[in-house]
Amino acid sequence: MHTVQTHETKYDISPKRLKEGSIFGALSANAIQYLLDHGTIHEAKKGDEVFHYQDKGESFFAVLHGSLDFFKQHHHKELHTRDIEFGEALGFVSMIALHDRVGTAYAKEDSLLLEVSSTLFSDFHDQYPFDFGILLINLARDMARNIRELSNALVSHEIENKLEENKP
């Protein structure tokens, strides 16, 4: 994974395009451009590690192009729990909860990522308070969708285990 400038990328990362993504939806073009100008843009090749289990959670990543895989670590085992697609974010929970990463993320394909540090997040609040509120709602909405997906998967798994236990 390496850092690039906005003008160096071959992908369309215009505010108009990014507004199609769930975390950028309803943000002003100026606010999106501010994040692009002040954040760190990374190009990741398929298989590149974006962050590692127990890294400091001092930022989150928004997928500007491509997709990521996330593997949750628990009791020295890891399990793929999530695909992160265009316009979605990863790492926000660790950043906002002030804890280390709970898993490892990899580029599922060649991808372009915007890293938003906790400092930039704070500065964004100061510079664009209205858009900051919208961004928080968008991030919370994505978290809620992920919680629902994971809880559904947990319930399905438990039901399958109960059915397996009751087989003769």
Residue 78: CB partners within 8 Å, gap ≥ 6?
Answer: 53, 71, 72, 103, 104
Pair 106, 49: CB distance under 8 Å:
yes
Give, for all 168 residues of the chain, the pLDDT tens digit: 899 988 889 999 999 999 999 999 999 999 999 999 999 999 999 999 999 999 999 999 999 999 999 999 999 899 898 999 999 999 999 999 999 999 999 999 999 999 999 999 999 999 999 999 999 999 999 989 888 888 888 888 788 877 778 777
Q: Which domains does the chain have, with CATH numbers?
A: 2-165 (2.60.120.10)
pLDDT at 20: 96
C-alpha to C-alpha distance for 151 and 147, rounded to whole angstroms: 6
Whether the CA torsion 14, 19, 21, 23 is positive or negative: it is positive
How confident is the model at residue 15, as a pLDDT? 96
pLDDT for 160 equals 80
